[in-house]
Amino acid sequence: MGKGDRRSKRGKIFRGTFGKRRPKPEKVRKQAKEAAAAAAS
């Protein structure tokens, strides 16, 4: 547990990754969703 743990929030912050424990900010997620929808059509 701690900084080296990929499954903990602190570990995600340390690594700079996102996931279930540390989701991306809502604003960024919304932009990505719109971009994906535009690319699909």
| Inside any domain, residue 25 | yes
Q: Which domain holds residue 33?
A: 9-40
Binning pLDDT at 50, 70 and 90, where does residue 10 land?
A: very high
**Residue 38 confidence (pLDDT):** 83
Total domains in the fold of the chain: 1
pLDDT single digits (tens) 11-36: 999 999 998 888 888 888 888 888 88
- The pTM for the full model equals 0.54
Nearest of 5, 3, 33, 8 to residue 19 by alpha carbon? 8
**Residue 12 confidence (pLDDT):** 92
Tokens of 30: 């919304």
